[in-house]
Amino acid sequence: MSKVFRFPYTIGLYDTDAAGLIFSANIIRICHHAYEALLEEIGFGMARLFEQKTMGLPIVHVEADFVRPLTVGSKVEILARVAHLGRTSYRMTYELRDASDEVCATAATVHVCVDPRTRDPMSLPDEFRAALMKYA
């Protein structure tokens, strides 16, 4: 059974622009914190991936929508899900929800599994696919 990965985050000064709102490009960096924590939880943390060098997982697509303002000090919970699992790629979706459980922003990333030596796409390893299924 799939579930949602939950990751708490507080919007910092470095996340915002001169208007005091979350800077649009930072949404992906913020979501990437949740993504890295999810990978760690399923046993495929960045340290393991870099040490074993069995696959790379570059992002090939990003998108984001902003619904409500997020400012310095805003406490959010990022809800991360594996929205789609393909043969060589997967799509992650994220919702940033405030203390009232209102959606403030959404984002998505698409990752392709690649051979770390050649950078050619490769099938998602079975163990990794099974681990991702926990949040699919």
* Closest to 105 measured CA to CA, from 71, 59, 132: 71
Report d(CA 5, CA 124) in Å as an integer: 20
3-state secondary structure 87-128: CCEEEEEEEEECCCCCEEEEEEEEEECECCCCCCECCCCHHH
Where in the sequence numbering do the catalytic residues fall?
A: 17
